[in-house]
Structure 1
Amino acid sequence: MTRLHVTVEGTLFATDKDLLMTHSEYFRALFQSGMRESTQDEIQLQILGAMGFLITLRVLGGERPILSGEEIVQAVECAAFLQVELLTKHLVNLINSDNCLVMYQAAATYGLLELFHTVALYIRDAYELLGEEVHCLPADLLEYVESLLPSTFVAVGAHTPTFEFLEDVSRTMCYLNENQNQWESLGCIPDDASTFLAGVTTLDNKVFIVGGARGASKQVVERSFCYDADSHSWSDFASPHQLRYEVALVGHEGYLYAIGGEFERVALDSIEKYCLSSHAWSFGKELPQAAAGPPCTKTMGRIFICLWKPQEATIIYEYDTLKDDWISLTSFKKMQSYGHFMVGHRDNLYVMRNGPSDDFLRCAIESFNLTTQQWTALPGQYVNSKGALFTAVTRADTVFTLNRALTLLYKVEDYTWTPIKEKAGFNRGGSLHTFFLRLPKKLELTAN
């Protein structure tokens, strides 16, 4: 390690020169320039804040600090001036309704374009919840937010291809027209695609379907499919090396991750990742145990999964995509039930289960905070008389849940989910896949 002393606002920082060169375009150019500073072991940064530089060093050292308003402004300044992509990613992962307006204006001031666009999309989705605060933005920044497409709630039922029912309504993918309170068609999934026991996820405004099965015999589907919302078109792509159904699928930073699943009724412990740029699958580190349909979610730029152990134990693992490793985070014991899934919001993971089987309309929710490493049981039971809670996805601070009878929206706040709206249900049998897409207006008109 090559030591370097950096003075910022009168504060002296001892750090690793190679670390700065690896992650900062500014330092890489400085030390490769041949100028006098390139050979010095002590330099000064005149225009940055000491707090921002300390945050930069913490992030480069592997920490994930939660930042306040002034810390965010200085961190944005450092990310822009020093050109530190890792810090920019961390800021993107921190976006929430409490800091989005500050972060948006800071990103605009310092020209951090990736953060600027990402936080603008978040504000577009949180527009209603932010209320009058959003109108305090400068006119040009507000205009940019309003020019963006909002996220739209989309659902598709469990469809297994059969020759007899090619026009089966279960093939239809639909979006919720929230203004009209009705579901509109986005067209049918391809004839050969299956959403029954398939992995379904979104990435870059596209829907990906991997695996799945045909009929009760669970014959595996050998093709994978992609729906591009921008062009309203379907295409197919290569399937994983290990064919699988009942697979967890996650989209993250240019990759699809196919986790676990089954093949010929045998649970799998393998994981494969698909690179969208190279169009190739490769194997990752195996799961700690074989698992079919494991609950999986993503939050704060991190991937998490639930696995079961004997004696009713549930263990949550994080998949470190950079190190290709599974990290055990926490466990708890709870009677298992037929329904079990997980969603992420800010630095909380919410584990939900319908049941036990003697009361399938009751949904209990436990929350695990990634920062404090503490479990909290949400008060009460999440019950409605019109059907059990089968699916949930988040948009800003709102959770969308769905069953045949209704779409129920909750606001997430202080370890409680508060019901705020009821919308039309999705009248499809079997399991459901729900997600968000940004639908061009022309596509909505075409679909209608």
Structure 2
Amino acid sequence: MSLQLPMRVHAGGETDAGSCLRPGAESAEPRRSEPASPPGRERLAVEVEGRVFAVDKALLTRHCEYFRALYRSGMRDSLQTELRLRGLGAAGFVAMLAVLSGERPALGADALVEAIECAAFLQVRALTGHLVDLIDSENCLLMCHTAFAYGVRELSHRAALFIRDMRSELRDDLRSLPAELVDYIDSLAPRAYAAVCSHAPSAETPPDLQRTVRYLDEETGDWKVLTRLPPGASTAMAGVAVLDDKLYIVGGVRDVSKKVLDSGFCYSPVSDRWSAVPSPRQPRYNLTLIGHQGCLYAVGGECERRAVASVEKFRAAQGSWSFASQLPCAAASVASAEAMGRIFVCLWKANGATDIQEYVPAEDRWVLVTTLVRRQSYGLCMVAHRDNLYVVRNGPSDDFLLCVMDRYNLTSGQWSAVEGHYGNSKGSLLTAAVRGDSVFTLNRAVTTEFAIEASRWRTKRDMKGFGRIGSIHTFLLRIPKDAAPPGGSSVAESQSRPHGIRLEEPGPSDPCLEDR
């Protein structure tokens, strides 16, 4: 893959972005007015590449650092109502306006470059966030290189992380990147497929050796111990999620009485420490825990053996829970996925109907996206790849373990069936995780990596199974290169190591409570 980077940076590193078009000045190119502001609001006429956009001044000053600084400067330019932005592409400016209007536009290669350029020069965080959501295997190299060149650090870093996760598939293409950028990518830790079994708290000292968090060593195809659970932690009917490369366990029950634990736990692979975190305000088990943009969401679950609709939000930086908008109906063990920076859940209904609901954090509300109807079926899990949601469900009633899938494309709004049957010897698909263009799933006998293709999941390789039955939580976790035991240890070999059992109370400087 050759990588050509169109540069708009002039000699000496100076740019013309933001130079002003004074009232009455003429453009050398034809001008076409394109209104992008509601009536009754103060408008600016912004010219980009000969196209004139009538835009909402308040919208620009609220979201763009460049315009905010310009109109608060008190300089003569701040009084102008017509501006010419030189050195920027119109396609990038159009993408920015679309994002600021609440849209999520898909962008081709040229438009991506211009959008990154626009995000850099005009300092538009919302546009940068949208570009992060667009990173995939086809554009990650272009994104990383362009963002690196223009100094959009968050985007270049996120693209570099994506490339690191897919380094083996992109090995030959990395030659198109600058050496210093390749070195930076190689310095990052890839995400590992990790899992933990369902276990109640342990009174044993040392803890039960089966109460471990393990990760998949993809070179050997074996499962190895990362850390042990603290004695007071329970993964039985608990919510398990990863947020900012830290593992959180919330809720869970002590025993068959289903008494809910009154504290949660957070594990940081970087510090190799467990920390206590507060529990949700409403005690709950059998919940779904979702990590998203610096927050955890405890969705649904059960309380006193009854399903609940309540949702709570945990702000990791503050270490506090607050109630959010309730689910449309009470539900436990809700399947969830994050796609394109958006949160989706499945709500199973009667007669094989499945509602896909989206939670919109900025508006604190649930929105019905679509409904899937499949008779004699109920959902097992949901994963996301690019702009597709994959809903995995049980197959025909005569083969309970035979899983089939339906795919919903968020861009087109269309459902389609995924070819093939999945399950049995190829992993149960009761739990799965997507990394790059691959999806990992497991059962007791085998761990399988599938390649996600246009109409099916193709088996790439089989590795050792997890070796346990019962409920298994799986997730992706970045493990620092020096955090894994030398050579990787099996469960039996880890008995003498005190690895990962230091439990600390959370505090303002605790790594588990840092903002992103």
TM-score by length of 2: 0.84
Instruction: Give the 3 Å change call, closer, same or farther, for CA 223–62 of structure 1 in structure 2.
Output: same
Distance 1:11 1:164 in 2: 71
Match of 1:425 in 2: 465
Larger Cα-atom Rg: 2
1:204 equivalent among 234, 244, 248: 244
Distance 1:379 1:438 in 2: 32
- Aligned ranges for residues 177-196 of structure 1 at < 5 Å? 177-196=217-236
Matched, 1:218 2:254: no
Match of 2:450 in 1: 410
Deviation at 1:169, TM superposition (A): 3.9
Tell me if structure 2 keeps the 8 A contact 1:339–1:355.
no
Amino acid at match of 1:391: T
Match of 2:167 in 1: 127
Name the stretch that deviates more: 293-302 or 162-171. Answer: 162-171
Distance 2:460 2:353 in 1: 33
Name the stretch that deviates more: 269-278 or 132-141. Answer: 132-141
Match of 1:274 in 2: 314
Tell me if structure 1 keeps the 8 A contact 2:443–2:469.
no
Match of 1:321 in 2: 361
Distance 1:355 1:155 in 2: 25
| Secondary structure class of the residue paired with 2:484 | helix
Match of 2:480 in 1: 440
Instruction: Give the 3 Å change call, closer, same or farther, for CA 303–167 of structure 1 in structure 2.
Output: same
- Aligned ranges for residues 71-82 of structure 1 at < 5 Å? 71-82=111-122
Distance 1:206 1:355 in 2: 35
Match of 1:303 in 2: 343
Matched, 1:137 2:167: no
- Aligned ranges for residues 204-353 of structure 1 at < 5 Å? 204-335=244-375, 337=377, 340-353=380-393
Match of 2:86 in 1: 46
Name the stretch that deviates more: 192-201 or 216-225. Answer: 216-225
Instruction: Give the 3 Å change call, closer, same or farther, for CA 387–151 of structure 1 in structure 2.
Output: closer
Deviation at 1:445, TM superposition (A): 2.6
Instruction: Give the 3 Å change call, closer, same or farther, for CA 5–79 of structure 1 in structure 2.
Output: same
Aligned length: 448
Distance 1:116 1:376 in 2: 34
CA RMSD of aligned residues (A): 1.5
Deviation at 1:150, TM superposition (A): 1.1
Match of 2:143 in 1: 103
| Secondary structure class of the residue paired with 1:290 | coil
Instruction: Give the 3 Å change call, closer, same or farther, for CA 37–444 of structure 1 in structure 2.
Output: same
| Secondary structure class of the residue paired with 1:219 | coil
1:159 equivalent among 188, 199, 202: 199
Matched, 1:23 2:63: yes
Name the stretch that deviates more: 435-444 or 235-244. Answer: 435-444
Distance 1:6 1:209 in 2: 50
Distance 1:308 1:386 in 2: 25
Distance 2:230 2:263 in 1: 11
Match of 1:87 in 2: 127
Deviation at 1:429, TM superposition (A): 1.9
Amino acid at match of 2:272: H
Distance 1:140 1:98 in 2: 21
| Secondary structure class of the residue paired with 1:5 | strand
Name the stretch that deviates more: 164-173 or 399-408. Answer: 164-173
Name the stretch that deviates more: 218-227 or 168-177. Answer: 168-177
Instruction: Give the 3 Å change call, closer, same or farther, for CA 13–280 of structure 1 in structure 2.
Output: same
1:61 equivalent among 80, 87, 101: 101
Amino acid at match of 1:156: V
Gaps spanning 5+ residues in structure 1: where?
none
Deviation at 1:188, TM superposition (A): 1.2
Distance 2:342 2:452 in 1: 20
Name the stretch that deviates more: 60-69 or 122-131. Answer: 122-131
2:402 equivalent among 344, 362, 367: 362
Distance 1:306 1:112 in 2: 35
Distance 1:297 1:386 in 2: 22
Tell me if structure 1 keeps the 8 A contact 2:426–2:447.
no
Deviation at 1:357, TM superposition (A): 4.9
1:153-201 alpha-carbon deviations (Å, 9 max, x no partner) = 1110111125479743431111111112211111211111111111100
Deviation at 1:369, TM superposition (A): 0.3
Distance 1:336 1:291 in 2: 19
Distance 2:71 2:170 in 1: 44
Identity %: 51
Tell me if structure 1 keeps the 8 A contact 2:382–2:390.
yes
Distance 1:228 1:83 in 2: 32
Matched, 1:33 2:83: no
Distance 1:164 1:33 in 2: 65
| Secondary structure class of the residue paired with 1:93 | helix
Distance 2:397 2:302 in 1: 24
Amino acid at match of 1:72: L
Gaps spanning 5+ residues in structure 2: where?
1-40, 490-516
Distance 1:305 1:50 in 2: 37
Amino acid at match of 2:108: S
Deviation at 1:356, TM superposition (A): 4.4
TM-score by length of 1: 0.97
Tell me if structure 1 keeps the 8 A contact 2:427–2:448.
no
Distance 2:205 2:406 in 1: 40
Amino acid at match of 2:265: F
Name the stretch that deviates more: 372-381 or 139-148. Answer: 139-148
Distance 1:186 1:381 in 2: 33
